[in-house]
């Protein structure tokens, strides 16, 4: 099967790879590639504009606010500037910019309804990449990047508790299953959620020398 790629793809991939060349391991090109792949898979079962899904997924992390002193406007602005180079149909760039503005968990919370099916798909894909085996790997990588402990048992929270990576599972990762917008996303989230629960049970058992 010889599928012709839409003309915006190659320049967008090259741009994103270049922008993310120095990115931390959980937010690098491979994160974007996984989200893109999954977004396309979710989109296949939805009524969506594929160019919006492609561009939204590929451009969603070009400038994460966490690594830009909390500035939430840089990513959408950079993406808009980049898309001016592409010959896109009317409304595409505006739609993609809105997706980039709203895709993040921090900005939208788990339960916000997406304004479009294209956002629903990209947001589900981005959240799924924070779950399961990959999600676990990304969390510990992020914690290591920040010099955080793996885990601090509750009985030792006698002072201000340090932000341990295991705590992030309860603050975010185990909540993500409730916020899926697509049917396939929901099914995949349930499997990835169970995997994280299994991981935590084994982690605590090993922590206490029970297994």
The distance of closest approach from Cβ of residue 206 to ligand ADP in the complex, given in angstroms and rounded to an integer, is 19
Query: How far apart, in whole angstroms, are the C-alpha atoms of residue 166 and residue 82?
Result: 37
The distance of closest approach from Cβ of residue 165 to ligand ADP in the complex, given in angstroms and rounded to an integer, is 5
The distance of closest approach from Cβ of residue 206 to Ni ion in the complex, given in angstroms and rounded to an integer, is 30
The distance of closest approach from Cβ of residue 26 to Ni ion in the complex, given in angstroms and rounded to an integer, is 9
Query: How far apart, in whole angstroms, are the C-alpha atoms of residue 199 and residue 177?
Result: 16
- Which of these segments, 6-14, 53-61, 68-76, 84-92, binds Ni ion (CB under 5 A)? 53-61
Write the interaction track for Ni ion spanning residues 8-47; mark x where CB under 5 A is met and - where it is not.
Answer: ----------------------------------------
Kindly report each contact of residues 165-172 with a partner whose C-beta sits within 8 Å and lies 24 or more positions away, as own/partner.
165/139, 165/140, 166/200, 166/203, 168/139, 168/142, 168/143, 169/139, 169/196, 169/200, 172/105, 172/130
| Binding flag, residue 49, Ni ion (CB under 5 A) | no
Query: How far apart, in whole angstroms, are the C-alpha atoms of residue 20 and residue 209?
Result: 40
Contacting positions for ligand ADP (CB under 6 A): 26, 64, 66, 104-106, 126, 130, 135, 138-139, 142-143, 163, 165, 168, 172-173
First vs last Cα of the chain: how many Å apart? 50
Q: Which residues touch 71 (CB under 8 Å, ≥6 apart)?
A: 63, 65
**Nearest 5°: phi and psi at 4?**
-80, 130
Nearer to ligand ADP among residue 32 and residue 52 (C-beta):
32
The distance of closest approach from Cβ of residue 16 to ligand ADP in the complex, given in angstroms and rounded to an integer, is 15
| Binding flag, residue 61, Ni ion (CB under 5 A) | yes
Residue 142 contact among ligand ADP, Ni ion, none, beta carbon within 5 to 8 Å by kind: ligand ADP
| Binding flag, residue 126, Ni ion (CB under 5 A) | yes
Both tokens of 111, joined, read 């339960």
Nearer to ligand ADP among residue 79 and residue 88 (C-beta):
79
Size of the site for Ni ion (CB under 5 A): 2
The distance of closest approach from Cβ of residue 99 to Ni ion in the complex, given in angstroms and rounded to an integer, is 12
Residue 111: strand, helix, or coil: coil
**Nearest 5°: phi and psi at 204?**
-65, -40
Q: What residues line the site for Ni ion (CB under 5 A)?
A: 61, 126
């Amino acid at each position: 099967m010889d599928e012709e790629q839409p003309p915006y793809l190659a320049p967008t991939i090259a741009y994103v790879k270049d922008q993310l060349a120095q990115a931390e391991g959980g937010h690098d090109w491979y994160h974007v590639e996984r989200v893109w792949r999954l977004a396309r898979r979710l989109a296949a079962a939805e009524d969506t504009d594929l160019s919006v899904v492609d561009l939204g997924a590929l451009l969603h992390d070009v400038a994460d606010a966490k690594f830009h002193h909390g500035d939430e406007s840089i990513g959408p602005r950079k993406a808009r500037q980049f898309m001016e180079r592409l010959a896109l149909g009317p409304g595409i760039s505006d739609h993609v910019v809105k997706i980039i503005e709203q895709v993040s968990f921090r900005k939208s919370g788990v339960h916000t309804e997406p304004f479009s099916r294209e956002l629903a798909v990209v947001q589900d894909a981005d959240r799924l990449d924070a779950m399961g085996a990959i999600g676990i790997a990304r969390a510990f990588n992020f914690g290591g990047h920040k010099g955080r402990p793996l885990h601090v048992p509750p009985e030792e929270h006698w002072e201000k508790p340090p932000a341990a990576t295991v705590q992030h599972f309860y603050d975010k990762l185990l909540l993500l299953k409730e916020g899926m917008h697509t049917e396939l996303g929901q099914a995949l989230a349930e499997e990835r959620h169970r995997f994280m629960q299994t991981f935590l049970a084994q982690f605590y058992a090993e922590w206490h020398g029970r297994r």
